[in-house]
Structure 1
């Protein structure tokens, strides 16, 4: 074989790494692997029929995503999340996506609006069919698209690191606290704000539902209010976000 021939083995190895990572991530997100489960490399490798190398690499990536935690001398475990974790992740989402929407609003093009509307149409179909997995997938895709449209590469990279945890919490929120129609409905105002090229409105319409979902999930976890959230609390949280943005020169 000549030196110009492709390295098929390396390509295959990359496919194995991706498949292992995808399988482990999916098992965590769908609840097959539960918080606190011990992830033993040798056992997983045997079950998947691969060497321990791809398992180790996948677990390192999942640790980076925040889905697993590694303890010295103990091993790797599926991460547990507290109400505080939920609030921290959603408050960061609020800042990132709110700013992304502001940036997107001033550079949005008609074809971008059409793309967002296509995603929303897919969400509507998933909601009508009661397909939670597809609904969450399209929901994540919608918010990813907003971040991409900001044309802010570091913002998008930071948001991407949260994506797996966001998907986990969205699944919980959609299953327990909100109806599919409600989830879909929160996205219409953002599209309209972007269509109007209104940065302030775009930020507000994308950030407020994020705050509401995050606070509702957090309160539900704390069993303080049975998962209910008062509108004055949403307003208070939103005002705090705006104050925080001004403090950092936003």
Structure 2
């Protein structure tokens, strides 16, 4: 079965990262499955260099691990790690929201309202892909308006984990027809920005991210397959 398709852009290592994340979310890759650089390069019809770069980044973010003489494999999802990432993200994005309050233009606010509206539409249709696309764009816009280069770099440091966890969480809600639990989750953030209240913006986005993290932790707690963090890599896959 072909898991990895040829890329559509020139950002090859990003395409590889996204392909691996999508494979994890879809279940094509499971914790313990080996990641073979050559197989991915062949399936995506690219050189091994961007695959190697993608794997390095995923290792740095604890999505892929290495074992001596075993190679790279998909790391098990550790609830403690998930909790730590969401706590860190809530602090970083909270600060970004506080700083962005001063810099968001009227056009920015209109774009945030539009993205929130699209999320509402996706919720009504139980459409995870549309919801995730707008949700990521919503948070990215805020983070890139904070006018703080070092903070943006730190947020980029957890971006891949954030994307993986967000997708997993939303797909789980869709699978149980519960995406409506996210309905209007961004409204308090929008209200804080409209009022130009930096403290409220920080607190509301922090609370929102922690709540989202708890939804993923609920999913992990109910998934028995992810309760064995010592699973050895399965060399028969990929």
Task: Bin the TM-score by the shorter chain.
Answer: 0.7 to 0.9
Give the direction of change, closer, same or farther, for the CA distance of 1:16–1:216 in structure 2 (3 Å limit). closer
Q: Write the deviation string for residues 28-80 of structure 1: whole angstroms up to 9, x where unpaired.
A: 34332222210112333333344433322222232234321233432111122
Q: CA deviation at 1:19?
A: 4.0
**Distance verdict in 2 for CA 1:123–1:219, change over 3 Å:** closer
2:48 to 52, 55, 65: 52
- Residues 1:114 and 1:23: Cα distance change in structure 2 (over 3 Å): same
Structure with the higher fraction of residues in helix conformation: 1
Query: Which of 170-179 and 91-100 deviates more?
Result: 170-179
Aligned length: 212
Q: Which runs of 5+ in 1 are unaligned?
A: 1-11, 224-250
What is the CA deviation profile of residues 182-230 of structure 1, one whole-angstrom value per residue up to 9, with x for unaligned ones? 313110110110010111111111111211222343355345xxxxxxx
Distance in 1 (CA, whole Å) between partners of 2:16 and 2:57 is 11
Query: C-alpha root-mean-square deviation of aligned residues, in Å?
Result: 2.5
Which of residues 90, 107, 125 is equivalent to 1:94? Answer: 90
Q: How far, CA to CA, are the matches of 1:186 and 1:106 in structure 2? A: 22
Provide TM-score, normalisation by structure 1.
0.75
For normalisation by structure 2, the TM-score amounts to 0.78
| Matching residue of 1:209 | 208
| Runs of 4+ with >6 A deviation | none
SS state of the match for residue 152, structure 2? helix
**1:31 and 1:113 mapped to 2: Cα distance?**
37
Q: 2:16, 2:51 within 8 Å by CA — same for their partners in 1?
A: yes
